[in-house]
Every structure is written in structure tokens, then in C-alpha cells.
Amino acid sequence: MVPRGRAKIKAPEPFEGDRSKARGFIYHLFLLFSSQPDAYASDQLQVVTALSYLGDTTAWYRELITENAMRAGRWITWQAFEEDFLSTFGPIEEEADSGILLQGLTWDTREPIDKFNAEFTRLAYRSGIRDNKALVLLYQMKLPGQLREQINLTHPAPATFMEWASRATELNHKWHSNRALNQLAGRSGR
């Protein structure tokens, strides 16, 4: 049972060395540690917990860190572990890889735009694109022409990427609601 006022965070999946999942593994551990700060109060507890979630293909890394701790007589800090872990298992060319994935990202217009927006934002961040004008232009190029035109006709016109994404989400949700109502009206014979 989870104590009152605490979030229940599920245990992370064992990390098996997939570079594309390294950052997610660390994020998941951060959530786990943050949800139970008393249980993971020391760097040692955090590092040992992280090591316990390393799968068979990464057992060598667990052994290396443990042997170094035994030799030194102390564990490394969580920050040192995180940096070493990501330099060992993280994406090699994260910015370039994310930029390539962002260029190829498409939105299935039959689906709500939310998932596309989340993936666009994640890839843009990881690819290092921070310039608002570049983000807006890239986002506009990814939108279907009709939606882009609808957004351009709204007042006030969006100026930032977040405003564009918000406006696109609002219009897309309205379109899906209207579509559902039309389908319901068609079934009822009206």
C-alpha cells in the first residue's frame, strides 16, 4: 500500500542496452526516487537500485560499477552514475538522430494531433532546435495545408511554436468532436 500523499510509480523495465531507451530508463528511475525520497535518500541507494534494474546484456556494467565501489570503498554519486551511464549507453549522435527522425515525422490526420505534437516537441528538443522561428516553420511544414490555413486565419495569429501547437490541437479536437457528432446524427437518422 502506498502511503497517503505519495505517488505509486511502477518499477522500470530492466535495461538491456538499447541506446534509444537509456534516457527513458534514467527518467523512470528519477520518478521512482522522487516519489519515495526517504527510501532513496542516498546516492548509494539510488545507484544500487539502478544497477538492480540492469538486465543480462548489461550485467558487465553492473559488475564494473560494483567492483569500482568495492575497490574505492565507496559508491559513486548518482550524478556521476547518470553521466557515466548515459555516456556508455545513451544515443551516440542524439542531436543528429533526433533531427533525422524529426524530418521524417508525419501526422496521421485520422488521429488526434496530441501524440504528434508530443513527438514533435520531444524530437525538436533532442535535436537542439531552440530558435522559435525555426520551430514554427518546421511545425507549419508538417501540418496539412488546410489546417495551416485555418490557423493563419485565427485572431490573434499564433507567433510561437507553443501557440501554433495549441491552436492546432484546439482546431483538431473540434474537428474530431464534430466528426463524432456527425456520425452519431447519421446513425440516428437525422
Specify the pLDDT at position 97. 85
Instruction: Flag whether pLDDT at 7 surpasses 80.
Output: no
Q: Is there a domain that residue 5 lies in? A: no
* Phi, psi angles (nearest 5°) of residue 5: 85, 5
Helices of type H across the chain: 22-35, 43-52, 59-72, 78-89, 94-104, 114-126, 132-142, 145-152, 161-187
pLDDT in tens, 11-25: 899 999 998 899 999
pLDDT at 165: 97
Domain co-membership, 77 together with 111 = no
Domain check: are 181 and 104 in the same one? Answer: yes
Each residue of 105-162: pLDDT tens digit? 999 998 899 999 999 998 999 899 999 999 999 999 999 999 999 999 999 999 999 9
Same domain, 177 and 104: yes
185 confidence band (pLDDT: 50, 70, 90): confident
Residues spanned by the domain of 46: 19-89
CA dist 190 and 35 (Å) reads 52
* Amino acid (one-letter) located at 56: D
Same domain, yes or no, for 34 and 81?
Answer: yes
pLDDT at 5: 62
Q: How many residues does the chain have?
A: 190
Residues 129 and 176 in one domain: yes
Residue 81 lies in a domain: yes
pLDDT tens readout for residues 66-88: 999 999 999 999 999 999 999 89
Which pLDDT score, from 0 to 100, does residue 126 have? Answer: 86
Same domain, 136 and 180: yes
Indicate whether 131 belongs to any domain: yes
**Residue 57 sits in the same domain as residue 98:** no
- 6 lies in some domain: no
pTM higher than 0.95, yes or no? no
Question: 15 by DSSP, 3-state: which?
Answer: strand
Q: Are residues 84 and 154 in the same domain?
A: no
Q: Tell me the per-residue pLDDT of 29-67, one tens digit each, with 9 for 90 and over.
A: 999 999 999 999 999 999 999 999 999 889 899 999 999
Count of domains observed in the chain: 2
pLDDT for 190: 47
Same domain membership, residue 177 and residue 118: yes
> Cell numbers of 168, please?
492546432
